[in-house]
Structure 1
Amino acid sequence: MSKPMKDMMVSDYQSRLGDSSEAIVVSLRGIDAEGTETVRSKMRQSAVSVAVMKNSLARKAFEGTALEALNPVMKGQNALIFGERSVVEVAREFIELIKDFPDIELKGAVLDGELYEGDEGVKRLSQFPTRDEALSDAVGLILGPGRNLLGQIKGPGSNIAGLLKAIEDKLEKGEAISKN
């Protein structure tokens, strides 16, 4: 392949990847064309792209980006999975998907420039909270002490209010109030 053609392909890869800083690398070797199309269509439904790239050109396209961490796993036949969704969510979906396609090999994933290598790395990544889950947890941690404090403040007040209401009811009925 000529140098201008390679440069054009690297530019195409870079434009397709855009600002992606998260991706998963898998090997689709061992599944037929129909299986590959099934994988692609399921990922496409999730707003995720599956791209087969020439490794040397992909490494060149990754230079200077967070995806550069994937270079060590870019060997053999690979497909790069990337898109608008969190790599954690995509890893979860892909782990479910490979139950139907056991020949798919998870080679690695990158999140914030950190490589999660191999099957175990991608599975570990899938157990992380997504951005939305992490934000929800953080909000819960921030609001938790205030909620507890409010409960502590309201608790005695509601007890006193209950006692006063009981006294008022007894007085309205003309009953005597005991000192117990």
Structure 2
Amino acid sequence: MSKYVKELVTRDLQRRLEGVSDAVTVTCTGMDANTTNELRGELDSKNIQMMVVKNSLARRATEGSSLAPAFEGTAGQVAVIWGAEDFVSLVKEVVRLDKDSEKYENFVAVGGVMDGEVLDDAGVKAISKWPSREEQISMLVGQLLGPGSSLSAALLGPGRMLNSQIKQKGEGDDE
């Protein structure tokens, strides 16, 4: 590949990865075209992007960015995966596809980068066990509403008891 072509490809990679700060790297060497196309469609339905890149060009394109550590120590072709609603959702989907060995046997998560920190394959699998953004929000809402409902029950409890006693007295007078 000529120097001019490498420069063009590098600029295109920089443009496509602009604004991406967290990503997962996978190997998918050996997948046939139909399986790769099916995989891309499945990822696209979840707003996840996948781009297969030559390692040396990816290193050149991400030099100085937060994605640069993801390509350190990798060799050959890798696929960069980014997008989704949040990084944890992205990682959960990648790990799910990695485990689906029947359908995507050559799809293997090898690492990634989160907030500028390098992740190995074990780190990616550990993050997949974290709660997603939606789960975290629901946990937070539960924690915020818990004390209020306890306070409400504490305030309304004596009033209900008094109401019940008055009602019993009122029904007892009718007899």
Q: TM-score range by the shorter chain?
A: 0.7 to 0.9
- Note the C-alpha offset of 1:73: 4.8
* Correspondence for 2:120 among 117, 121, 128: 117
Whether 2:37 is the aligned partner of 1:27: answer: no
Identity of aligned residues (%): 35
CA distance in 2, matches of 1:7, 1:166: 88
- Note the C-alpha offset of 1:8: 2.4
Whether 2:136 is the aligned partner of 1:144: answer: no
- Note the C-alpha offset of 1:54: 1.9
CA distance in 2, matches of 1:116, 1:27: 15
Change (3 A) 1:61 1:84: farther
The answer (yes or no) to whether the contact 2:94–2:109 under 8 Å persists in 1 is no
The answer (yes or no) to whether the contact 2:52–2:78 under 8 Å persists in 1 is yes
CA distance in 2, matches of 1:7, 1:112: 27
Partner of 2:71: 71
Unaligned runs of 5+ in 1: 176-180
CA distance in 2, matches of 1:113, 1:132: 23
What is the one-letter code of the residue matched to 1:44? Answer: D
Alignment of 1:1-180 (within 5 A): 1-98=1-98, 99=100, 100-118=103-121, 120-171=122-173, 173=174, 175=175
| CA shift digits 1:129-161 (9 cap, x unpaired) | 222221221222122222212212222221122
The answer (yes or no) to whether the contact 1:73–1:107 under 8 Å persists in 2 is no
What is the one-letter code of the residue matched to 1:159? Answer: M
Q: Secondary structure at the match of 1:138?
A: helix
The answer (yes or no) to whether the contact 2:97–2:107 under 8 Å persists in 1 is no
Q: Secondary structure at the match of 2:82?
A: strand
- Please report the TM-score for the alignment, with normalisation by the length of structure 2: 0.85
- Please report the TM-score for the alignment, with normalisation by the length of structure 1: 0.83
Change (3 A) 1:166 1:65: farther
What is the one-letter code of the residue matched to 1:138? Answer: L
Aligned length: 172
